[in-house]
Structure 1
């Protein structure tokens, strides 16, 4: 059977079932083809209006209105037309009317899932042995072969699209990948992606990342398309159905991010109740002695299962691999949804708490001190009295309404309230011996976020050209207040930590800083489809306004600003064949200015917005059981640094990252799955002060990142899967002068899982060992565009065990 490729998705107007999935659903298997009776079960008639035109467009439109999954080989429908239909039809009847005279017929392959096949001569249908992959999923994103990556991802303004029809680099990880990696946080999950690296210790106060060498803060991680709603410091993965990672500036599709990330964006998609009831419990263990449990319950109810409820709860506590360090985390997220004929609504409400004792900090290195030896750090250098306490309450409401068959209104609102309390100390190594001063500081931060977006999407044709026009408005508001106090200094050592007294009497009160951020934007785009949508051209622009006000001890600051800009963007994608897509894009956007870090003398100073620009070309090859994508990109933006002598943080020249990405995912051989890739970056500084660092490599940017994970189903033991993963990063500079450097590093993980049934209960046992060689190394030097530079220590060997029971 020839490979099946997706048609271009048209509006997925919900009927009684989930949104339209046009996907690659079939792969070779030894199991026999199962013919479902769902056509007979779907005999209910309803009204449809499908205009005459190409058969591809007619089938896509009808499947979207009917709310079913349809998988089509584009070669079957190429050049064929349909007379359309108007009136009341059952699903089977409607498809038959559209296919009349085409020599094609519909075949059911599962509940609400169909493929298009040539009508057999003589009336008998002979099918090759086939199995269904991802025919029914709980969201609008069918799963790619292997189950670790989804075909479709959320693209903000542009809606949800198949990766083969996306004119930029994007990877969407599924909840299956989250479970099998035993990923507790977003930092655990991104270990699969070569374009993304964690830049803060896993046992630290917060998580932070780089994409294509540029910083990405948790504040810039979207929740179902809305910024600023998720917890500021650590995001639990048990709440995620999918995680979309977009590479490169994404201001056109997502708008300006709260912290101005330019290397890419991450979007967490919440879980929804599925047609099949969900009742699942997972018990977990993580070394040294962290025990936990997670529940996942989902149900649909009401007439035609229009209403859904999904709850995820987590409790985990205990000691970590590091001495005198412990983590206690709690998460509860409730998702409600409604699926009507034309209206779709969802609400998500969440609460997370995380308490960490002795969280590790990045390690700064004094100007006249050498780089410490990570291999000699075998104890926790954080003081036992240090702590981090975070509480986040958040929620969002999203809606879609189909005005008619070609116009959809959509929108969302969200809010978050957070309180954070820290008792911490910086770690700045002063000499070769590893000595550092312990400078205790308590620090509080209260945050309030309100965000909203609204838009309209319109599909229409002008002659042979299809259009998908999007108009969207967005608004983001955040206020936060920082305060705290300083205490008497002590001394310790990186290699031989010394416990200092618990701070009690402050020696200085910090200034109370209050800041308000207001971002607003208006975006317009049009995706034009030519030559039966084999050529897709996306043109758009976003007007953005950034307004920041700050007060110090109730006195208005001088660094407030109010700036705006119109940022054009565009992308083009050409389907050279049914398996090969070629694309190019240009994106630019306005980002909020950097904020001076606590390690600088101008702490909390806010700098004006800056503009980032990206050019990218790439190719995507979908072989069916596996896919390979490649991208060549260049991103430019201002460079920031803290002066080694004056300790003043500020802009210093420009940086340009030019790189190549190659990724692979899928199941190239039955029972063998791959996930990973490689990224190369040439990062150069220009126009630095007095040309001092011109031509140097930007700090904290490795030339090479390599990730490759593999899974193998043991043929002789049904249900047993062995896993492995290797991660590599080349050396990195600590400073713009390129005088200090950390070594390259590699990490190896191994694991296994075993799935079986007991009394109709599905049970999955998982065991993973991360950093199996227990190597100590500096995994990151921070990020060259980041206000919080410093060395990140690797996590020691970690054992992860879990047992999931699906009732």
Structure 2
């Protein structure tokens, strides 16, 4: 063992052994459950015998079952609060069996008198293939349950941190083409790159989140690096705060939160859906979504999603062509559940926009005067990504489940670009063409075991998991002769010809590994849930420049503890608190700095959060107060050297609402307030200043109204607001606050048993020009992001 696990890891393994021993029947006390009481249960779908045995064990009752009665039968599982008999009845739906009490806390299983089990009103059920209708919260835009990696899938009311899960219905109705389109509904998340740029990037709670930090079914680094198409998503989980305990260290070390994309799998109902779409100026496209289940008890599933879209955007000489194909296969057996998802995406962008950098002696440009695309017509971005995952779960027994997943991605990226750095008040900038290539290879894996048991009146859910992530990438390229242009009156320069300088070929290898252990303890019929855990993490980075090994490589490890507590004050109100800590990969100096590609050591981030969640049935309200600390980084305005400079602390408050408070009227949105402060900067120069690129207020509010007099007609609207932001740590340059308004409508009807939905949205209906972001305060490439002009979106979907 010492040769395999570092000494710092041994406490985790010792604790795991102790908890496993405590699960032994010899050490467990007599059952405490009372059949008349209601408490929370989570029983996965699958083999009926396994589901009944697990439920009986959790409820603390005796159940006698004739194996012949349950042989070959499955159960949809259950999730929520039930009495004992109510829970058994839910598990037996459609089985032709019923429960019969035989005295005390003892039951037997017998055939139903009429050959069918009792039907109940719908409650929360989790099917083996993913989310079901009962998982969707009122209004259909948000799901009740979200994937939480190590901790499994849980209802938001039983989660001791802030989390929102958007449904595929929300994706379709917003006509979200990329992840950047979808996050426009969330006040805690902001896009920090132009929508027509080379890549998407975000902030959560004021800290950077790159696409490589977006997980795919819990696996990091598998999805495309630069842009993620939303047609592949069944759900999108957004978790606020450091989430290393849940999924391990992410490739770029996101601090403010994490995003997980759940792939689409076949449902019991056949799916055949065709969509045609239009986006201004002249983007035309089509999408297909086909799903089927086969075999005995629909054990095998197939789901295919394909997209083709191309054409000009609202920006002059800008064109985007994108292709996506994703195939999902799954198997659900009595004890075994398997799935594999394979995808390929390509995206070609002509004249992609860049962030606008502002020199020290220039004032902030007037965004309202930027009416034309300042990217050169010859600039382009070409990306190709091929990726795949395999995931599996196996019920070893009624109380033990093992699971695992592996993923891989191969990507080729080719850019011909130029930076936009305004040097004076007139908006002049130098056009320095750069040919930039990046090839990436990713391999990742995770494996774990989950164990449910009781020790006396205390329930336990033990999770032990290991993760591994490997990525190598090579950057190369060349520079060309410079030209001149202007932000307000762009000048077309000659297309690059002979290079004036070859860039060094930089090759980097990242290896992240970790082992995590957690225990969720339930007290007082699980009304009080306490989660304690820790993750050992190792970060190893090596780099070479023109085959010469760099001197900034490192190999470091750390144990990061985390914990959360949740109290169900009432059936509708949950109160929670958490402490989360994580190790993040060190920042990499950007191409705009003189120390380009320098790798900095890993750093630690810490969060404390308290909050409340209120579930009124038709709508839900959540509130959170948080504090996140981490080192601050900057590119010095004078020396152009990138590096750490002090620490930053974000104190914030989040309020959110979702659901259908009135029949036919739905709301989705919220408010985030952040007080961001710099401390311990060099010589105290910027101490007390506000961290750059961090607005005090973000506000989002979306509404939908079903017109009562016209069946199937819905009107939609959304408002988005961000307050002013500083560009740098000195707080001398500032961008104004901004607001954006979107409107839309959709009409659903039937023709010959075919469901047809027509959608029309207008984004930025006022056609306002503004700087939507000053980058991110912890970002390696700061700069201004220009808003997207008024955009028209039209689509027609036919479901056969």
SS for the counterpart of 1:346 is: strand
Give me the whole-angstrom Cα distance separating, in 2, the residues matched to 1:140 and 1:776. 40
CA 56–698 in structure 1, closer or farther in 2 if over 3 Å, else same: farther
2:139 aligned with 1:146? yes
1:31 alignment counterpart? none
2:247 aligned with 1:215? no
SS for the counterpart of 1:191 is: helix
Match of 1:190 among 153, 165, 183: 183
1:709 alignment counterpart? 702
1:753 alignment counterpart? 746
CA 496–54 in structure 1, closer or farther in 2 if over 3 Å, else same: closer
What is the Cα deviation at residue 93 of structure 1?
Answer: 2.9
2:640 aligned with 1:627? no
SS for the counterpart of 2:779 is: coil
CA 280–99 in structure 1, closer or farther in 2 if over 3 Å, else same: farther
What is the Cα deviation at residue 47 of structure 1?
Answer: 9.2
CA 511–662 in structure 1, closer or farther in 2 if over 3 Å, else same: same
2:534 aligned with 1:530? no
Contact 2:347 2:382 in 1 (8 A): yes
Contact 1:13 1:402 in 2 (8 A): no
1:723 alignment counterpart? 716
Give me the whole-angstrom Cα distance separating, in 1, the residues matched to 2:428 and 2:87. 80
2:543 alignment counterpart? 550
SS for the counterpart of 2:42 is: coil
Give me the whole-angstrom Cα distance separating, in 2, the residues matched to 1:721 and 1:95. 45
CA 672–136 in structure 1, closer or farther in 2 if over 3 Å, else same: farther
Give me the whole-angstrom Cα distance separating, in 2, the residues matched to 1:135 and 1:347. 20
Contact 1:436 1:493 in 2 (8 A): yes
Match of 1:738 among 706, 731, 736: 731
1:68 alignment counterpart? 76
Aligned residues: 748
Contact 1:71 1:115 in 2 (8 A): no
Cα deviation, 1:705-745, whole Å, max 9, x if unaligned, reads 00000000000000000000000000000000000000000
User: What does residue range 428-577 of structure 1 map to in structure 2 within 5 Å?
Assistant: 428-577=421-570
Contact 1:48 1:89 in 2 (8 A): no
CA 295–7 in structure 1, closer or farther in 2 if over 3 Å, else same: farther
Contact 2:589 2:642 in 1 (8 A): yes
2:792 alignment counterpart? 799
Match of 1:279 among 264, 272, 279: 272
What is the Cα deviation at residue 67 of structure 1?
Answer: 2.6
What is the Cα deviation at residue 304 of structure 1?
Answer: 1.2
SS for the counterpart of 2:412 is: strand
Match of 2:44 among 12, 30, 33: 12
Cα deviation, 1:473-505, whole Å, max 9, x if unaligned, reads 000000000000000000000000000000011
SS for the counterpart of 1:404 is: coil
1:26 alignment counterpart? none
User: What does residue range 295-694 of structure 1 map to in structure 2 within 5 Å?
Assistant: 295-694=288-687
1:167 alignment counterpart? 160
SS for the counterpart of 2:353 is: coil
What is the Cα deviation at residue 139 of structure 1?
Answer: 1.7
Contact 1:770 1:797 in 2 (8 A): yes
2:8 alignment counterpart? none
What is the Cα deviation at residue 100 of structure 1?
Answer: 9.7
Contact 1:47 1:88 in 2 (8 A): no
Match of 2:259 among 260, 266, 269: 266
Give me the whole-angstrom Cα distance separating, in 2, the residues matched to 1:89 and 1:721. 35
Give me the whole-angstrom Cα distance separating, in 2, the residues matched to 1:775 and 1:83. 54
Match of 2:97 among 62, 72, 93: 93
CA 47–691 in structure 1, closer or farther in 2 if over 3 Å, else same: closer
CA 519–362 in structure 1, closer or farther in 2 if over 3 Å, else same: same
Give me the whole-angstrom Cα distance separating, in 2, the residues matched to 1:332 and 1:731. 40
Give me the whole-angstrom Cα distance separating, in 1, the residues matched to 2:446 and 2:784. 38
Give me the whole-angstrom Cα distance separating, in 1, the residues matched to 2:312 and 2:38. 48
What is the Cα deviation at residue 83 of structure 1?
Answer: 13
CA 7–708 in structure 1, closer or farther in 2 if over 3 Å, else same: farther
What is the Cα deviation at residue 14 of structure 1?
Answer: 1.5
Give me the whole-angstrom Cα distance separating, in 2, the residues matched to 1:373 and 1:83. 62
Using structure 1 for the length normalisation, give the TM-score: 0.89
Give me the whole-angstrom Cα distance separating, in 2, the residues matched to 1:600 and 1:727. 33
Give me the whole-angstrom Cα distance separating, in 2, the residues matched to 1:226 and 1:279. 28
Give me the whole-angstrom Cα distance separating, in 2, the residues matched to 1:217 and 1:706. 22
Give me the whole-angstrom Cα distance separating, in 2, the residues matched to 1:154 and 1:342. 20
Contact 2:294 2:300 in 1 (8 A): yes
Give me the whole-angstrom Cα distance separating, in 1, the residues matched to 2:454 and 2:124. 33
Give me the whole-angstrom Cα distance separating, in 2, the residues matched to 1:137 and 1:178. 22
CA 806–134 in structure 1, closer or farther in 2 if over 3 Å, else same: farther
2:57 aligned with 1:49? no
Give me the whole-angstrom Cα distance separating, in 1, the residues matched to 2:715 and 2:159. 33
Give me the whole-angstrom Cα distance separating, in 1, the residues matched to 2:669 and 2:60. 33
Give me the whole-angstrom Cα distance separating, in 2, the residues matched to 1:471 and 1:224. 18
Give me the whole-angstrom Cα distance separating, in 2, the residues matched to 1:83 and 1:170. 27
Contact 2:721 2:737 in 1 (8 A): yes
Give me the whole-angstrom Cα distance separating, in 2, the residues matched to 1:481 and 1:206. 18
Cα deviation, 1:678-710, whole Å, max 9, x if unaligned, reads 000000000000000000000000000000000
Cα deviation, 1:151-183, whole Å, max 9, x if unaligned, reads 000000000000000000000000000000000
CA 57–509 in structure 1, closer or farther in 2 if over 3 Å, else same: farther
Contact 1:50 1:84 in 2 (8 A): no
CA 533–135 in structure 1, closer or farther in 2 if over 3 Å, else same: closer
Contact 1:7 1:56 in 2 (8 A): no
What is the Cα deviation at residue 68 of structure 1?
Answer: 2.3
CA 669–69 in structure 1, closer or farther in 2 if over 3 Å, else same: farther
Give me the whole-angstrom Cα distance separating, in 1, the residues matched to 2:61 and 2:341. 34
SS for the counterpart of 1:8 is: strand
Cα deviation, 1:236-279, whole Å, max 9, x if unaligned, reads 00000000000000000110000011000000000000001100
2:783 alignment counterpart? 790
Provide the alpha-carbon RMSD of the alignment: 2.7
Contact 1:289 1:320 in 2 (8 A): yes
What is the Cα deviation at residue 113 of structure 1?
Answer: 11
CA 667–83 in structure 1, closer or farther in 2 if over 3 Å, else same: closer
CA 98–762 in structure 1, closer or farther in 2 if over 3 Å, else same: farther
